[in-house]
Amino acid sequence: MKREDLDRDWDLHLNLPAEHLKALKAFPDYFWFIGNVLSGFVDTVVDTQRKNVLFCAQPKSAGLYLVQLLASALGLTNYQVGFNKNAGEVYYPRMLCAKYSGLDTISHCHAAPSRSLISIALKLRFRPLVLTRNLLDTLVSRRDMLIRDVSRDRTGSDGGAGEDAQRIMDVTINPPEILSPAAIRRFLDAPAEGQMDVVIDAFAGQYINFFSSWKTFEGTLTLRPCFITYEELAANEPALVRRVAQWLEVECDDERTRSVSTSIRQLGGINFSKGVAGRGAASVTAKQVDRLRQIARSFGCEDEAYLGFELD
């Protein structure tokens, strides 16, 4: 596999095939149609008979790696739908680009099922594939990433007091996540337990809401998302790809999956390091687990396997 085979489609284009455009009887003027698209709505959608997957991945669950693995193993185009080439977001014009690209696509994001996202997915007939990971392991992975990003020597200096100020400034300008300067300072100055407190305060609610809100659509007849986990990926990549292939009703070959996996790792640029299952549970205190129980109850999340602790 060559590096160009792993390139994503970053071009912001909207090329409707002529036969599709003719079918848009409500939009006889192409530019009027484009205007409606860019305004954020469209009343008529032509079914292209293509497979379009909206891959909604919980952060820190190897989503970028898995989207490329699925794309290359199952013959899909890794078509990013975020604004400004951001793989984590959903930008409506890019969703339409994917829809009318004439390709079978898979598009990575971190989006929870907001009312607008569900409306877009239903209107454009995108099929949601939802990736989650054990909450405690996710939180400790987020802490590790923050430690790496915030503590990296960005100045090349000898580690003097001015360097800490420069680190804070750099991370504020280019944050690894949206954190206030005060939160970054608190994180830098805290011991390990205090750093986990920052991570829990900043991210636990976001991750639990992502999981519990998508789970409300499990078994529904309209959206019908497919749920997969990071733990499945870490345990057996071919088996996970096979399950997604069955959901999409496409062919799958285990040897192809293994070959693609090897090629992605050799080419680099996409990180997938298997975390140690259960490491998160060893990294939180009883007090922190009590705090997480409160947050889980606030979001109506009762899945103890996902949370990594008992609710009672």
Rounded to 10 deg, the angle between the 135-151 and 181-189 helix axes is 90
DSSP letter at 126 equals P
AA letter at 7: D
For residue 16, what pLDDT is reported?
A: 54
Low-confidence ranges of the chain (pLDDT < 70): 1-45, 84-87, 150-178, 268-276
Contact assessment for residue 12 and residue 80, using Cβ atoms and an 8 Å cutoff: no
For residue 173, what pLDDT is reported?
A: 42
Contacts for 262 with CB less than 8 Å, ≥ 6 apart = none
For residue 303, what pLDDT is reported?
A: 95
Token couple for 84? 């400004």
Structural domains present in the chain = 3-133+217-267 (3.40.50), 136-207+280-307 (no CATH)
What is the tens place of the pLDDT at every residue in 152-208? 534 344 344 445 444 444 444 444 456 777 888 888 889 999 999 999 999 999 999
The predicted model scores a pTM of: 0.82
Q: Detail the DSSP E strand segments found in 119-261.
A: 127-132, 226-229
For residue 155, what pLDDT is reported?
A: 37
AA letter at 215: K
Token couple for 297? 């109850």
For residue 139, what pLDDT is reported?
A: 95
